[in-house]
Structure 1
C-alpha cells in the first residue's frame, strides 16, 4: 500500500510539473495605472496601446515612455477629447494596429458618444492624420462590437472581427467587416455563421463565471491575425474551442456568398477561450488564454496547443503583439473580469495593471 501511495505521489508530481511547464519565460515590462487593452508599436519600437474601453477611460489611446514609466495621449490630447462640434476624436477604442508605412490604425467602436464608428490612421512619420474610414450603420448595427482587425496592406483591406455583443448583443450576430482601403466601401459578412458564433463554453476564471445578471456572457468573433504574407486569416470566437483559417483573397471576395465562403473555411486547431492572437514567421500562433492567466501557442508543425507563458499577474490577458525592434512579444493584463458589470456593480480591479513580454519561438510578424 505504501509503495502504491508513493507511486501515486510521483505520478501526481509529474502531472503537476507538466501542467506548469511553459515554453518561455515571462518578463515584467511595465506597471501602469489603467487597464491596457490592445498593444502595437511604431516603426522605431515605441509602444502604443489602448486603455481598455470596458472601464470607460478618459484617455482612449496612449504612447508609453519606458524611461519615465509615463504615458501621453496618442496621437494627442485633442484626439482623445470628446466634443459636440465635430467627431474628429476617439470615442471607444480597443483595436490598434501598425503598418509598415508608420501608420497607427485605431478602430473606434464609437459606443460611448454619438459619432460614427470609424478607423483612424495616424502617420507617425509626419505626425499627422493619414485618413479616416467611416463605418456605416449597415455594417455596424446596434449589436455590433468591432473588436480587433488585420491591416492588410498587401491586398488593400481592413479585416475586422466583430464580437456581436454591443448594446445588449448576445454574440449570435458576430461577423466580419471588410473595408476596401482604396474606396472606403465596407461590407458585413459571415454574420451569425458557424465560425463567428460563440460556442457554449463559458469563461470561468478562478472558479467564477463571466456573467451578467446571472447569465454567461458568450462572445463571438474576436482574436484575429494574418500570416507574414497575408495569405491566410486566422480567427475564432472568444468563447470557442477552435481556431479557423481562411485564405485572405477568399474572405474579401465580393463574389462569394456566405454559404460559398463558409465551405472554404478550414478548422485549423484546438484552442482555449482566448482574446488576442499574434503570429510568428514560422506560423506559430500566440493566443491570450483568459481562464488560465497565460498565453498559449499553437505550433505550426503539428497544430498542437501548449502553454507559452503563465503568470498570476496575467489577469485577463488581452492583446498580444510583436515588437520588431527588440524581438519580444508583449501582452497586457486588463482585469476585465473584475469590472463592475461582472461583480454586482462594483469594480474590483486593482492597480497596478501589468504589461509583460516574452521571446517568441522565432521572430514575430510585425505589421498585421
Structure 2
C-alpha cells in the first residue's frame, strides 16, 4: 500500500512539474564526497550506506569501496574480496556496475577481464554482512569483448537485466547486448546481441571540442564507439529502458517481451521501440513518475527526459567531468559520480589532465526514485 501511495503521489507530481522545463528549475548539485581515486558507479542501500566502484579504467587496487566520510573509504565488502588470488573466483577483479536492492543486497558486476576470470554477478548482503549469491556469466552469455557494466534488479519477475557494452578486450561495440539472469535458477541468456538498439552509432564522443579517439589496428586514430551502457526500468516493472552510450536514441522494450523466450531475435528486435532523443550518455536512472535521468558525458551535466519524451538539461556543474553512474536513494536524492574519463592520459597525448579530488554529487529529482533502478 505504501508503494502504491508513493507511486500515485509521484505521478501527480509529474503532472504538475512536466509543464515547467527542467533546465529552468535552477536545480543544484551538492558535492557529498571528494575522493582520491576516480569513482565509477554508485549503489545506495536502503539504510543509506554509499557503496561505489573505483573506475576500472584507471586499474585501481581497491575495486569496490564504502564511503566512510566525505573524503575517506574502506574496501567493500572487505580487503580480501578486493585482492585477486589463485585457486578461487571469490574476489572482485574488474568492476564498474553495481546497485543495491530493496533488501540491502549490493549486486556487483565483475567483468572479469583484468585477470581473465569468468564474469560474474556478486551479491553481498549488507544487513547480515555475508555473501548472498554469485551468478556466473560464462560463454556464450558473455563473449569476446564483453563488458557487462550496468544492472537493473527486477524483483517482480525475479530477473536481473545487465547492459553489455562490448568494448572489453577484442570488442568494438558491434556485439553489444542485454544479459538476463534468472534470480532463482541462475540461468542466464544473451539477447539483442548486435541489435540496432544496443550497438553504438557512428558518431564521436566530443569533449571540449576534442573527439575522443584510440589507436586503430592500422595505427591511425579511431573514434571511440560504446555500445549498450545505461539501463533502467519503470517502477511497475513494465518497461526496460536502455541505450548505447554512443548514440542519439533511448530505446525501451516491454519486460514481458524481453523475457519471452519464444521470440526469435528478429521478433524481439521488432518489439523494441525508440523512446526519445538524447546526447551521448553513460548512466541512466528513473523516478516513480517515469522521468529518466541520464549522465551526458560530453557536457558536465545531468539531463532528464519527462513524460513528454523530450530531453532537457536538469543540472550542470563545471567540475562534473564525465558524469558517470547515477542512482536513486531512499532519502529522496539521486547520486551521481564525475569520473574524469575524458581527462585521462590516453586522450591527451600521454599526459593526463585528470586529478583528485574525484567528486560524488547528490541532487533532488523531480520525484522520488527507486533504489534498484
TM-score higher than 0.5: yes
* 1:129 and 2:131 matched: yes
Partner secondary structure for residue 65 of structure 1: strand
Superposed CA offset, 1:137-187 (max 9, x none): 211112111111111111011111111111131111111111111111111
* 1:49 and 2:84 matched: no
- The question of whether the paired residues in 2 share the 8 Å contact of 1:330 and 1:358 is answered with yes
- The question of whether the paired residues in 1 share the 8 Å contact of 2:45 and 2:371 is answered with no
Aligned residues: 348
Change in 2 beyond 3 A, CA 1:194/1:33: same
Partner secondary structure for residue 250 of structure 1: helix
Partner secondary structure for residue 256 of structure 2: helix
- The question of whether the paired residues in 2 share the 8 Å contact of 1:278 and 1:287 is answered with yes
Deviation at 1:23, TM superposition (A): 4.6
Q: TM-score, normalised by structure 1?
A: 0.92
Deviation at 1:233, TM superposition (A): 0.3
Question: 1 CA distance for matches of 2:255 and 2:26?
Answer: 30
- Indicate the RMSD between aligned Cα atoms, in angstroms: 1.5
Corresponding residue for residue 357 of structure 1 = 362
Change in 2 beyond 3 A, CA 1:277/1:20: closer
Partner secondary structure for residue 262 of structure 1: helix
Corresponding residue for residue 148 of structure 2 = 146
More relative contact order, 1 or 2 (CA 8 Å, 6+ apart): 2
Corresponding residue for residue 261 of structure 1 = 268
Deviation at 1:21, TM superposition (A): 4.7
Corresponding residue for residue 191 of structure 1 = 193
Q: TM-score, normalised by structure 2?
A: 0.90
Match of 1:26 among 26, 29, 33: 29
Corresponding residue for residue 270 of structure 1 = 277
Match of 2:294 among 287, 306, 323: 287
- The question of whether the paired residues in 2 share the 8 Å contact of 1:22 and 1:307 is answered with no
Structure 1 unaligned segments of length 5 or more: list them. 1-17
Question: 2 CA distance for matches of 1:364 and 1:42?
Answer: 13
- The question of whether the paired residues in 2 share the 8 Å contact of 1:279 and 1:285 is answered with yes
Corresponding residue for residue 334 of structure 1 = 339
